[in-house]
C-alpha cells in the first residue's frame, strides 16, 4: 500500500487520509492505471454508473497484505470481499478514443494531451469515506494536469488534489499532457487556468488578459469572488462563427468553468464576447435542476450585461440596449402556451432558449429594481447573492428553484423573489417591464433604448450599472 505524508500548501496542512487514489499516467494518453487504497474503513463496493465505465475497464483486482482477489464488475458495481480491513484496489483503464468532448473531437489537437470525463474511469467507494479523499497523479516529466478538485501540491512528476464531497453523478473533466497552466489569484480565490493546444497556436498572453478582465468583472457583483478555488479550462477549436462558440460550468468534485474558443480571433473580439462572463456568473448560484433553467440562465444573462458595464467593457446605454433586445427575443419567442417552469424543463427538447433565458433575466431585473426601491438602495440583488455566498457556497447538493427564491427572500428580508416566482415562473406570461422601465427612465424609440435624464428612479438605473467600490458590510 502507499500512504502520503502531510503536505503543506501555503498555510494549510492536510493530514494523512484513510482513503487515497493514485493514478499512473503515461505518454500513451488513452491508457492509465488507478489504485484506490483504504485502511480501517473498507468499502463494501466500488461504484461507477456511467454507461461506458465497464467498457473502459480492462482489469481490476484487490491486493491485501496476504492475498490477491480478482474482482468482477457487474451493473456498475465491484464488490469488495467481506472481512477485508485494508488494501488497494488496482485497475487499468483504456478510454478507446474517448479523450475529448465529443462535439469537438475532430476540431482540437490531440497531440500530447487528453481531455477526459472523470465519470468514465473513477470508481468510487460505497459507503463514502468519512475523511477527505486524496488523489495523486503520477505523470511523465513535462506533463501537466488540470482538474476541478482542490489542489494540494504540484511537482514535476506528481500532482495531488483533494476531492470535494459532491454527488458522484455530477460531471467533471480533467486534462493531462503537454499544455500550459497559468495560476492566477482574484482576491482570496485561486483560479487554475489550463490552456490546451489547438491545431493553430493560441496567444497565451492575450487569452490570460481576457480571462483576467472577466474574472475581475465577476467580483463587481459584490466585491469578491464567490468561490475560493476553480478550474478554468480553455479548449481551442479553431475557426468558428463566434470567438467563444460554447462554454459550460461543471461541478463534479469541485467547481469548473470550461470555454471552447476560436483561437484565431483578435483580442478585441474576445473582449467584446459575452460567453465567459456568462459562464462565470453561474458561480454565483448553486447547482439547480434543468426545470429551473429560467433561474440559472436568467441570472447569468442578466449579469453578463450588468457586469460588463460595471467593468468598463460596455457603455451603460449599450448594456441596457443588450438587455432590452434580449427581453424582446424572449417575449417574441413563439406562443406562450406553457408555464415558464414547464418551458425550462423541456428547453433542450423544444429549443425555446430565448423564452427561458430572457424571462429569467427579466425576473432578476424586476427583483433588483424592487429591492433597491423598497430599501433605499441598501438591499440589492448583489447584496442578496453575497449573503447567499457567505451562508451556502460552495454547496454539494442540488437546489430547487422555488427553494432558492425563498432563500433569497429570507436573505433580503422581503417577499419579492417568491412573489415574482408565483407571478411569472408558474405562468405563461412574459414579465411585465413597462412600469419598471418608466420608473428607471428607460425609453424605447424605434427599438432603441434611450436613457432619460430625469426619471423617478434614475438613481436606481445608474446604480445597477455602477461598479461597487468594495464589498458591502453585512
Cα-based angle 404, 211, 250 (whole degrees, multiple of 5): 40
Q: Are residues 157 and 39 in the same domain?
A: yes
Residue 186 resides in a domain = yes
Q: Are residues 26 and 49 in the same domain?
A: yes
* Host H or E run for residue 60: strand 57-63
**Is the N-terminal amide bond of 111 cis, ω within 30° of 0?**
no
pLDDT at residue 272, as a whole number = 97
pLDDT at residue 236, as a whole number = 95
Q: Are residues 155 and 195 in the same domain?
A: no
Q: Are residues 325 and 377 in the same domain?
A: yes
Q: What are phi and psi of 196, to 5 degrees?
A: -75, 170
Residue 161 resides in a domain = yes
| Domain termination residue (choose one: 166, 199, 224) | 166
CATH number assigned to the domain comprising residue 215: 1.10.390.10
Residues spanned by the domain of 396 = 290-464
pLDDT, averaged per 10 consecutive residues of the chain (474 residues), comes to: 32 49 95 93 92 96 95 96 93 88 75 92 91 92 97 96 91 96 95 95 97 97 96 96 97 96 98 98 97 98 98 97 98 87 94 96 98 98 98 96 98 98 96 98 97 98 82 41
Round to whole Å and give the CA distance between 34 and 135. Answer: 10
pLDDT at residue 9, as a whole number = 32
Q: Are residues 123 and 238 in the same domain?
A: no
pLDDT at residue 3, as a whole number = 31
Domains of the chain: total: 3
Residue 4 resides in a domain = no
Give the residue among 42, 34, 40 at the shortest CA–CA distance from 95: 34
- Compute the half-sphere exposure of residue 326: CA atoms within 13 Å on the CB side of its CA: 27
pLDDT at residue 18, as a whole number = 60
Alpha carbon dihedral 345, 346, 352, 357, in 10-degree steps, equals 10
Tell how strand 229-236 and strand 256-261 pair up. Answer: parallel
Round to whole Å and give the CA distance between 247 and 236. Answer: 12
Q: Are residues 203 and 297 in the same domain?
A: no
User: CA distances (Å), 426 to each of 55, 341, 421, in order?
Assistant: 43, 6, 7
Q: Are residues 275 and 337 in the same domain?
A: no
Q: Are residues 153 and 275 in the same domain?
A: no
pLDDT digits (tens, 9 = 90+) for 137-165: 999 999 999 999 999 999 999 999 999 88
Q: Are residues 99 and 204 in the same domain?
A: no
Round to whole Å and give the CA distance between 139 and 151. Answer: 16
| Domain termination residue (choose one: 134, 166, 198) | 166
Strand partners, 136: 22, 160
Q: Are residues 97 and 115 in the same domain?
A: yes
- Compute the half-sphere exposure of residue 340: CA atoms within 13 Å on the CB side of its CA: 31
Residue 340 resides in a domain = yes
pLDDT digits (tens, 9 = 90+) for 39-49: 877 899 999 99
Q: What is the 8-class DSSP label of residue 447?
A: T
Round to whole Å and give the CA distance between 103 and 124. Answer: 27
Residue 203 resides in a domain = yes
Q: Are 141 and 72 in contact (CB under 8 A)?
A: no
Residue 1 resides in a domain = no
Q: Are residues 80 and 148 in the same domain?
A: yes
Residue 332 resides in a domain = yes
| Domain termination residue (choose one: 284, 318, 345) | 284
Give the residue among 174, 176, 163 at the shortest CA–CA distance from 121: 174
Residue 474 resides in a domain = no
Round to whole Å and give the CA distance between 338 and 332. Answer: 14
pLDDT at residue 109, as a whole number = 75
Q: Exposed/middle/buried for 294, CB within 10 Å: 0-12, 13-18, 19+?
A: buried
Q: What are phi and psi of 9, to 5 degrees?
A: -125, 115
Grid cell of 364 as nine digits: 432578476
CATH number assigned to the domain comprising residue 146: 2.60.40.3650
Question: Which position has the grid cell 472523470?
Answer: 118
pLDDT at residue 16, as a whole number = 44
Q: What is the 8-class DSSP label of residue 74?
A: B
Round to whole Å and give the CA distance between 415 and 305. Answer: 26
Q: Are residues 372 and 323 in the same domain?
A: yes
Could you give the residue ranges of the DSSP H alpha helices within 195-350? 204-218, 267-272, 275-281, 293-310, 316-331, 340-345, 347-350
The structure's pTM equals: 0.93
Q: Are 128 and 46 in contact (CB under 8 A)?
A: no
* Host H or E run for residue 407: helix 401-412
Amino acid at each position: 500500500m502507499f500512504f502520503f505524508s502531510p503536505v503543506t500548501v501555503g498555510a494549510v496542512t492536510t493530514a494523512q487520509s484513510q482513503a487515497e487514489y493514485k493514478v499512473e499516467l503515461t505518454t500513451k494518453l488513452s491508457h492509465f492505471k488507478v489504485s484506490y487504497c483504504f485502511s480501517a474503513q473498507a468499502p463494501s463496493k466500488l461504484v461507477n454508473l456511467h454507461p461506458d465505465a465497464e467498457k473502459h475497464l480492462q482489469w481490476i483486482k484487490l491486493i491485501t497484505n496476504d492475498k490477491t482477489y480478482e474482482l468482477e464488475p457487474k451493473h456498475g458495481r465491484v464488490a469488495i470481499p467481506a472481512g477485508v480491513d485494508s488494501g488497494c484496489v488496482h485497475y487499468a483503464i483504456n478510454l478507446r478514443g474517448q479523450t475529448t468532448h465529443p462535439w469537438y473531437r475532430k476540431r482540437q489537437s490531440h497531440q500530447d494531451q487528453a481531455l477526459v470525463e472523470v465519470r468514465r474511469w473513477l470508481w468510487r467507494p460505497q459507503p463514502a469515506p468519512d475523511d477527505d479523499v486524496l488523489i495523486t497523479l503520477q505523470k511523465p516529466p513535462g506533463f501537466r494536469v488540470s482538474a476541478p478538485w482542490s489542489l494540494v501540491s504540484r511537482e514535476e512528476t506528481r500532482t495531488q488534489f483533494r476531492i470535494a464531497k459532491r454527488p458522484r453523478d455530477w460531471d467533471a473533466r480533467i486534462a493531462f499532457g503537454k499544455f500550459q497552466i497559468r495560476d492566477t489569484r482574484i482576491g482570496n480565490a485561486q483560479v487554475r487556468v489550463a490552456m490546451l493546444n489547438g491545431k493553430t497556436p493560441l496567444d497565451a498572453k492575450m487569452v490570460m488578459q481576457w480571462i483576467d478582465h472577466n474574472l475581475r468583472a465577476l467580483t463587481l457583483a459584490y466585491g469578491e469572488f464567490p468561490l475560493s478555488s476553480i478550474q478554468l479550462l480553455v479548449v481551442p477549436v479553431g475557426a468558428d462563427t463566434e470567438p467563444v462558440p460554447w462554454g459550460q460550468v461543471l461541478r463534479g468534485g469541485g467547481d469548473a468553468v470550461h470555454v471552447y474558443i476560436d483561437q484565431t480571433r483578435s483580442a478585441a473580439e474576445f473582449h467584446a464576447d459575452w460567453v465567459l462572463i456568462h459562464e462565470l456568473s453561474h458561480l454565483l448560484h448553486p447547482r439547480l435542476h434543468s426545470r429551473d433553467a429560467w433561474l440559472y440562465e436568467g441570472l447569468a444573462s442578466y449579469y453578463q450585461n450588468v457586469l460588463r458595464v460595471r467593468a468598463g467593457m460596455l457603455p451603460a446605454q449599450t448594456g441596457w440596449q443588450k438587455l432590452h433586445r434580449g427581453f424582446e427575443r424572449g417575449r417574441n419567442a413563439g406562443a406562450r402556451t406553457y408555464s415558464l417552469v414547464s418551458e425550462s424543463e423541456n428547453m433542450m427538447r423544444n429549443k425555446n432558449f430565448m423564452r427561458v433565458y430572457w424571462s429569467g433575466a427579466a425576473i432578476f431585473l424586476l427583483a433588483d429594481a424592487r429591492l433597491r426601491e423598497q430599501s433605499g438602495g441598501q438591499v440589492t440583488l448583489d447584496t442578496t447573492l453575497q449573503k447567499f455566498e457567505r451562508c451556502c457556497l460552495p454547496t454539494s447538493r442540488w437546489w430547487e428553484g422555488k427553494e432558492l427564491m425563498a432563500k433569497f427572500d429570507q436573505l433580503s428580508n422581503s417577499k419579492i423573489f417568491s412573489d415574482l416566482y408565483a407571478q411569472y415562473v408558474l405562468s405563461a406570461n412574459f414579465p411585465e417591464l413597462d412600469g419598471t422601465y418608466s420608473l428607471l427612465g428607460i425609453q424605447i424609440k424605434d427599438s432603441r433604448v434611450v436613457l432619460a435624464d430625469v426619471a423617478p428612479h434614475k438613481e436606481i438605473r445608474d446604480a445597477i450599472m455602477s461598479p461597487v467600490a468594495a464589498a458591502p458590510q453585512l
